[in-house]
Each structure stands twice: as structure tokens, then as C-alpha cells.
Amino acid sequence: MADAEPKGVVLLDVLKNTFGQRCRIALAEKGVEYEFREENLRDKSPLLLKSNPVHKRIPVLIHDGKPVCESPIIVQYIDEAWPHRAPLLPADPYARAQARFWADFVDKKVRPPYADASHLCKLKGEEQAAAKEEFIGILKLLEGELGDKKYFGGDAFGFVDVALVPFVSWFYTYETCAGFSMEEAAPKLVAWGKRCMERESVAKTLSDPQMVYEFVDRLKKRIGVE
Ligand code: GS8
């Protein structure tokens, strides 16, 4: 019955997926009950292909039969469809625009190519040193935006926090592969990550950093990187 016509709220996802974790954290923050359907990306379900015919990717949120694709759009949808609890985007239009800017920055700069094991972990010597410096620069920009706030959303856990927090599981892999200390390079971000982990929505969703590292290690072996 994996492809039964979905009712209520259904998330097509893969448990360890960074982008799906954003959606699961947002749903947990809102207290929304949903059905989790694990996809096999080597043999995508007809429901996934029908729900996301353009990209054919997870995550996809299906709400009363209507699919929503792309994690930042899904998280905004969740915020708007369940507005009465735990608002993720601020009410003020300018503050909303700023939050969207930084979430987009995460997608453009933290994700590709840095979360991609074939990049920071694959490079060697000067190339890796340059990529590492660039990445540390990106972390510093994020720290500048965080400032002395508890969360990117201020006192409240918000849209940028949801966008970035799944990458906390990758911190160990970044520092181990590229040979630097996250604690030294970005102490405020590390402290923010620990604060986020105190939230049940985050703690129950994020991948184990060691598992992420082992996943990257396997990937490196598969693509022939020492
Ligand atoms: C990225 C989703 C994505 O890359 C988002 O939702 O934010 N911008 C999108 N999904 C991948 C799994 S994670 O690497 C995916 O579904 N890949 C399967 C495929 O491309 O065939």
C-alpha cells in the first residue's frame, strides 16, 4: 500500500536526508501529526514521481493530496498552513525578507558544494586549504548574522535555524575531512548548534555525526578518494 492515495499529511523522504530533516523539524515544532514514507531513491515510488514530476526528488510534503516540493518552500508552507503555533517566519515583511535571504544563503553556500562529500573532503593540498578558508569565511558570515542572539530567529527558533540546523550533524565531518576545529573556527555556531539540540524537534531528527562521517567515508571509497 506504499502508493495508496495519501490522506492528511504525508512526507516522502529518506530518514537521514538533510533537507527532509528541515521539514520534520518544522512539523515537530508545529505539533503536526504526519505519516512518514521512506523512499528508495534507487527505485522511486510512483507517488514520488507523480508528486514531484519536475525534480523527482525528496522531500515532498503531501497535504490532503496536494504535493509541495523543495525543502525551503515546504517549511514556509508548513509555517503558513499551521500558523497558530511556533511561527517560524517573523511577521514583519522586512524581517521575513532577511530570514529568507539567510536561508537562501545556507542553500547556496553551506550546501553546495561544501556539504557534498566530493568537495571539501575530496580536495587535497592547496585546493583543500583554499576551500577550507572559503568555508570558514562562510561560517563567519553566519556567525555575524547570529550575533549574540539565542537563535537566528532571535529568542524564538525560526526559519533560518530550521534551514541550517541539519548541517550541525555535518560539523564533525567537515572538521575531520578538512583538518580544522569547528570550535575554533566558529565557536558561536557550535554553541548555537548545542542550543538547538536541546529542542526535542531537533534532537529526535538530526543524524548521528559519526554516521554522517561513515557515510562520507564510504562515499569517498566508492569514488576512489583516499
Ligand atoms: C534538494 C533536495 C535533494 O537534493 C530541497 O528539497 O531543498 N533543493 C532540494 N534531494 C535529493 C536527496 S539529498 O541529496 C534527492 O532526492 N535525490 C534523488 C535524485 O536526485 O534522484
Identify whether the C-beta of residue 152 lies closer than 8 Å to the C-beta of residue 102: yes
Q: How far is the CA of 197 from the centre of ligand 1 (A)?
A: 24
Identify whether the C-beta of residue 191 lies closer than 8 Å to the C-beta of residue 132: no
For ligand 1, atom 16, which residue shows the shortest CA distance? 57
Q: With a 6 A CB cut-off, is 15 part of the ligand 1 pocket?
A: no
Closest atom of ligand 1 to CA, residue 59: 6
Distances 130 to 108, 150, 186, 187, 201 between C-alpha atoms, Å? 18, 31, 17, 21, 35
Place of cell 571509497: 221
Separation of alpha carbons 174 and 135, rounded Å: 9
Is residue 200's pLDDT more than 80? yes
For the ranges 65-79, 97-111, 114-128, 179-193, which has the lowest average pLDDT? 114-128
Q: With a 6 A CB cut-off, is 19 part of the ligand 1 pocket?
A: yes
Kindly report the CATH number assigned to the domain that includes residue 155: 1.20.1050.10
Q: With a 6 A CB cut-off, is 70 part of the ligand 1 pocket?
A: yes
Of the CA atoms within 13 Å of residue 220, those in its CB half-sphere come to 17
Residue 115 shares a structural domain with residue 17: no
At residue 60, the pLDDT reads: 98
Q: How far is the CA of 59 from the centre of ligand 1 (A)?
A: 7
Residue 104 shares a structural domain with residue 209: yes
Please state the pTM of the whole predicted model.
0.94
Q: What is the tally of structural domains in the chain? A: 2
Residue 147 shares a structural domain with residue 77: no
In which domain, by residue range, is 161 found? 93-223
Among residues of the chain, what percentage have pLDDT more than 70? Answer: 93
Task: Name the pLDDT band for 216 (thresholds 50, 70, 90).
Answer: confident
Mean pLDDT score of the chain, rounded to an integer?
92
Q: With a 6 A CB cut-off, is 17 part of the ligand 1 pocket?
A: yes
Residue 130 shares a structural domain with residue 153: yes
Please report whether residue 16 resides in a domain.
yes
Is residue 187's pLDDT more than 50? yes
Please report whether residue 105 resides in a domain.
yes
DSSP one-letter code for 44:
-
At residue 226, the pLDDT reads: 65
Task: Name the pLDDT band for 162 (thresholds 50, 70, 90).
Answer: very high
Residue 65 shares a structural domain with residue 110: no
